[in-house]
Amino acid sequence: MTEAPVSDDITLDVCRACEFVWFDPGEYTEVVTSARPADSQLPEQAREILAIAQIEADKERTRRDRGSNAPDEWWKYLPALVGMPVEYEQPFLKRAPVATWTLIGFIAAFGIRAFFNLETAVEQYGLIPAQAIRHGGLTFVTSFLLHGSLLHLIGNMYFLLVFGDNVEDYLGTARYLLLVAGAALLGDLAHIALDPRSTIPVIGASGGISGILAFYILRFPKARLGILFRFFLYFRWIHMPAYAWGLLWVALQLLGAYQQVSGASNVSALAHLGGATVGVAFWWATQDRWPGSQPSG
């Protein structure tokens, strides 16, 4: 630990080994506001301290200008503008999420290929409750890969990318894929149970991804998530822990399930809730069984 004089009245504590600077109460503001062109006459170490302090002050000012709790990465505004949650800090992963990347690549390739003749693809390979075992039950798999629009595909792949890597990192590849498959299957069965005689195809990976979301929320309840509140030209970031966002998500799915049962919605919220049930079961079965690191924040 060494001392670096900044002015006649201020001397900062500097650790050269760990590169930390300690500010006593009030020193940070005084150092930043006292910076002047004449500071070029200060010792090099003091100038470095001032530069670091100025950078931090600029970052904090930018954060305030963009709204409370705004994330640092500009690209996170893109999903947030369409109502998707964002992670504030990407947790450290012990391994590359190869299974998640592979799933995204395969689903995207299959879904984009189907867009060239989507109506036929859905009729042939969508899951029809009244014909659930057609093609030898293959439609349980193909319906997971099909999506109704590019926005539908991008939305599901976003959730898979953001939340799937952490879940895969904790569970390992085999258990992770089992979670996705089980959640997708139970989600389909929940949808079929509503009206087994329906001839309307259902498609999308939402059931399997809902299992991932449920596991993430329960395994990492304090992970920092944010949503962007919009009212005309007014924007405000709302910061919340994962468990709070999870409660909001469950409430929306219950409302969606009511609308689905009453015939007011064609979104299968029951499939989402069915898939989430598998995520809860996996969390219960695996808690405290093997170590896993929690996202920071």
pLDDT tens per residue, range 156-197:
999 999 999 999 999 999 999 999 999 999 999 999 999 999
Strand partners, 284: none
Q: pLDDT under 70 in the chain at which residues?
A: 1-43, 56-69, 90-91, 288-297
Look at residue 234 in the predicted model and tell me its pLDDT: 80
Radius of gyration of the chain (CA): 25
Domain 74-286 class?
A: mainly alpha
Look at residue 297 in the predicted model and tell me its pLDDT: 37
Q: Which residue, chain included where needed, has tokens 């069965």? A: 189
Contact 272, 213 (CB under 8 A): no
Look at residue 230 in the predicted model and tell me its pLDDT: 80
Look at residue 89 in the predicted model and tell me its pLDDT: 73
Look at residue 232 in the predicted model and tell me its pLDDT: 77
Q: Which of 256, 253, 255, 258 minimizes the C-alpha distance to 273?
A: 253
DSSP state of 293: P
Q: How far apart are CA 211 and CA 274, in angstroms?
A: 8
* Single-letter amino acid, residue 81: L
Strand partners, 241: 224
The structural domains of the chain, with segments of one domain joined by +, span 2-66, 74-286
- Cα distances from 162 to residues 57, 80, 184, 238, in angstroms, run 30, 13, 18, 18
Contact 15, 4 (CB under 8 A): no
Q: Whole-prediction pTM value?
A: 0.74
At 241, list the tokens. 């822990």
Burial per residue of 220-253, b for 16 or more beta-carbon CB atoms within 10 angstroms, e otherwise: beebbbbbbeeeeeeeebeebebeebbeebbeeb
Look at residue 291 in the predicted model and tell me its pLDDT: 46
Q: How far apart are CA 28 and CA 220, in angstroms?
A: 34
